[in-house]
Structure 1
Amino acid sequence: MLNRTTLARPYARAVFEVARDAGRLAEWSNSLSFAAAVASSPDIQQFSGDPRVGREQLLALIMDLGGDRFDESMANFLKVLMNYDRLELLPEIAAQYEFYRREAEARLKVQVSSAMPMSDEESDRLVERLKARFGRDIDLQVDVDESLIGGAVIRAGDQVIDGSVRGRLEQLGRQLAR
């Protein structure tokens, strides 16, 4: 059995290409994000597994919930997912779509785990430094993780920069163990 990422990739790629060609990357991003939240809700999951609820009924419910967020293209995309029993892949499709979008827009998602909350000024300085280092615009997400003791851990793509006190203590412990 293929994993969810592998199954979602062709759908995400196709949606990205349609959105890019139409010049509607942001609109599709919003639609997919909302559709993924709807599809992963327990109520929708319960309905999708109920044999008494047909695909048309489920699609109509999702379209009603989406309202004006979903245009005809999105409705057609949802129909395709339902026909192939892939509705549960929407969260993964949305995540992969965002990856393709960031690549096309030369943006990099950076996850920062900080021991203490960062001020807006600190966040802005960090964004500028990361922008200079990676040569791309930065989408910064900051979380607080008190277990770091001090400092921060920065995850940018496949790179990890560990400037935390906990990381330094672990490194010191490994060196002493040699």
Structure 2
Amino acid sequence: MNNGKISVRYAKALIMSAKEQKLLDPVRKDMELLLKTLRAVPELLQLLESPVVEPAQKLKVMNAIFSSKTEALTLSFIKLAITNNREEYLPGMARMYIDLYKQEKGIKQAFVTTAVPVEKEIRTAIINMIRKVFHIDIELNEKVDEHIIGGFILQVEDQLLDASVTGQINKIRKSLINKTYEKR
């Protein structure tokens, strides 16, 4: 079976259970913790994917790591995935749960690119401005790219606002090139 389909099915089941138990937010945090842990400790993912390691041992390790930090529902979910030999799909399941959670809550993605890291106050101002203008809840993803020299590039859904120095230079360059062709 396609691993995307497996991840979607498990994530949908988890979000339905979390919704019933009013645990959408805590389980989202658990899924973020799971992803963060699997990225930070690649050996853990190798252990989960290993056909040599017994499921009971995998359960023991995951229980030791997550039992004090996550909801019982999350632990049951991890146990179910391991018991059904789907542990290698846990990262995909966690990502899919987070995506479904954002859909459920109406949270959209916004991306801001700046030449230097954004300070906390400016980040808050950007989020508030986006909420006011677009009337949506957002999750702001930041990227630093010193090639834009200064200013920022903001993308919300399918709209792009390029207020970077590089963007302004490119506009001027295009304008000059068009004027040169008009004179000839």
TM-score band w.r.t. shorter chain: 0.7 to 0.9
TM-score (normalizing by structure 1): 0.79
Alpha-carbon deviations, 1:151-178, whole Å to 9, x = none?
2122334444333233455566677499
2:36 — aligned with what?
Answer: 37
Measured at CA, do residues 146 and 24 of structure 1 come closer, stay the same or move farther in structure 2, by a change above 3 Å?
same
Residue type matched to 2:88 in 1? E
Shift in Å, 1:17? 1.7
Instruction: Describe the SS at the equivalent of 1:113.
Output: strand
- Distance of 1:97 and 1:33 partners within structure 2: 9
Question: What are the residue-to-residue correspondences of 1:91-102 with 2, within 5 Å?
Answer: 91-102=91-102
Question: What are the residue-to-residue correspondences of 1:9-28 with 2, within 5 Å?
Answer: 9-28=8-27
- Distance of 1:116 and 1:39 partners within structure 2: 29
Shift in Å, 1:65? 0.5
Shift in Å, 1:64? 0.7
Q: Which deviates more, 168-177 or 119-128?
A: 168-177
Shift in Å, 1:14? 1.8
Question: What are the residue-to-residue correspondences of 1:13-162 with 2, within 5 Å?
Answer: 13-40=12-39, 41-162=41-162
Instruction: Describe the SS at the equivalent of 1:69.
Output: coil
Shift in Å, 1:49? 4.1
Measured at CA, do residues 55 and 170 of structure 1 come closer, stay the same or move farther in structure 2, by a change above 3 Å?
farther
Indicate if the aligned counterparts of 2:115 and 2:144 stay in contact, CA closer than 8 A. Answer: yes
Shift in Å, 1:135? 0.9
Measured at CA, do residues 30 and 119 of structure 1 come closer, stay the same or move farther in structure 2, by a change above 3 Å?
closer
2:7 — aligned with what?
Answer: 8
Larger Rg over CA atoms: 2
Shift in Å, 1:15? 1.3
Shift in Å, 1:84? 4.1
Alpha-carbon deviations, 1:98-136, whole Å to 9, x = none?
222223333333221112333333323322220022212
TM-score (normalizing by structure 2): 0.77
Indicate if the aligned counterparts of 1:113 and 1:143 stay in contact, CA closer than 8 A. Answer: yes
Instruction: Describe the SS at the equivalent of 2:18.
Output: helix
Q: Which deviates more, 48-57 or 12-21?
A: 48-57
Residue type matched to 1:115 in 2? A
Percent identity reads: 23
Indicate if the aligned counterparts of 1:114 and 1:152 stay in contact, CA closer than 8 A. Answer: yes
Provide the alpha-carbon RMSD of the alignment: 2.9
Measured at CA, do residues 38 and 15 of structure 1 come closer, stay the same or move farther in structure 2, by a change above 3 Å?
same
Indicate if the aligned counterparts of 2:115 and 2:147 stay in contact, CA closer than 8 A. Answer: yes
Measured at CA, do residues 136 and 49 of structure 1 come closer, stay the same or move farther in structure 2, by a change above 3 Å?
closer
